[in-house]
Structure 1
Amino acid sequence: GFGASTLIGEDYQKLITDYLQRFLWIFNSEEFRIIFPLVIMGLRLSMLGAVLSACWMMLQTKLEHERLTQRIQKGKKDYVGSTQTVSLRNSFSVSTSFPGIFVATVAINFLIAFLVIFIVLVLLATPCVLLALPGTRPFMLGLLWLLRFPALAAGFKAVLKYLIVDKFIVEHGQPKYPQFFAPLWLVLILLNFVQAPFFALFRWASLVVHATITSTYLHNCPVSESLMSIDPGYYAFIALTFTQSARRNLVRTCFISALMPQTQRARCPEPRQASDKAAEEARARRLRIRNKLWVAVTLWNNPELRTTRRISKDREYASFITLWDGDGQRPS
Structure 2
Amino acid sequence: MYLEMSAKYLYKFFSTCAGKMAPAVVLNNGVKCPQIGLGTWLSNPGEAQKAVKHAIDVGYRHIDCAWLYGNEQEIGEGIKDKIDDGTVKREDLFITTKLWNTFHQKDQVIPACKDSLKNLGLTYLDLYLMHWPVAQRNLGKFDKNLPFKDAVNIDVDYVETWQGLEECVRLGLAKSIGVSNFNSKQLERLLSCAKIRPVMNQIEVNPNLNQKKLISFCKDLDIAVTAYSPLGSPARPWAKPGDPILSLNDPKLIAIGKKYGKTSPQVILRYVLQLGTIPIPKSSNPKRIESNFELFDFELSPEDMAMLDSFDCNGRAVHAEELKDSKYYPFKGVEF
Bigger fraction of residues in strand: 2
- TM bracket, shorter-chain basis: under 0.3
Larger RCO (alpha carbons 8 Å, 6+ apart): 1
Q: Return the index of the structure with the highest Cα Rg.
A: 1
Length-normalised TM-score, structure 2:
0.17
Bigger fraction of residues in helix: 1
Length-normalised TM-score, structure 1:
0.17
